[in-house]
Chain A
Amino acid sequence: DTEVTQTPKHLVMGMTNKKSLKCEQHMGHRAMYWYKQKAKKPPELMFVYSYEKLSINESVPSRFSPECPNSSLLNLHLHALQPEDSALYLCASSQGEVPGNQPQHFGDGTRLSIL
């Protein structure tokens, strides 16, 4: 079991649907991350929140909308996605306010399929 919990584990949605991915950690970490991973590729950083504020947005399309309601929760809201957005979405967290300066701990991911 990982200390970063992601739900749902699998999600199938149509291109017109709106859905949300959720991530939760109770390690007191102050930085949280969303990554996208395509098959046989490394994870690619999408967003970083530091102390509940968006600190990094790696030029991600607006159909992906992150939200950090509190220090333990991170959401990724999805709307009007394209088939090429099908991927494994990974959440991670780390201590400290500078992203990447402490070890990152990953959740098990949400496997997303867009029909």
Chain B
Amino acid sequence: GIQVEQSPPDLILQEGANSTLRCNFSDSVNNLQWFHQNPWGQLINLFYIPSGTKQNGRLSATTVATERYSLLYISSSQTTDSGVYFCAVNRDDKIIFGKGTRLHILP
């Protein structure tokens, strides 16, 4: 089946720093979504981005479907950005999450 790999697995940054999270997938996909899971377990939509680039405030995402990867950019990090960032892909009715990147933003 399709493999989804996220990197880095863990990231610790000072408040105000920028970061790039990566999601690689092993085969073509129909769709890709980025989520943020906060420390209370809430899973929040960030981007639905099967291809192209989208921006929402300090966050932006780019998916290059032909090269099978997606990037999530976080600029000017805030402590509320802490949590786990997941990418999830969809292919042939299979929905597969990566293992996530655990982000800690220090004040």
Contact = CB atoms under 8 A, between A and B. Distances in A.
Q: Are A and B interaction partners?
A: yes
B87 to A, nearest CB: 10
Q: Chain A CB within 10 Å — which of B44, B45, B93 has the most?
A: B93
Given A42-B86, A42-B99, A104-B33, 4 more contacts: A2-B42, A37-B41, A104-B88, A106-B42
Interface residues of A, number: 25
A88 B41 contact: yes
Interface of B: 30-31, 33, 35, 40-45, 48, 86, 88, 90, 93-95, 97-100
Interface stretch (A13-21, A61-69, A70-78, A95-103): A95-103
Contacts of A23: none
B93 A99 contact: yes
Contacts of B99: 41-42
A42 B95 contact: no
Contacts of B30: 100-101
A45 B88 CA distance: 11
A115 interface: no
Name the prevailing secondary structure of the B interface residues.
Answer: strand
A43 B97 contact: yes
Contacts, number: 55
Interface of A: 2, 33, 37, 41-45, 48, 55-56, 88, 90, 98-106, 108-109, 111
A100 B31 contact: yes
A98 B33 CA distance: 15
Given A45-B95, A99-B93, A99-B95, A104 B41 contact: no
A19 to B, nearest CB: 19
A56 B93 contact: yes
A108 B45 contact: no
Contact of A42 (B41, B48, B94, B97): B97
Contacts of B31: 100-102
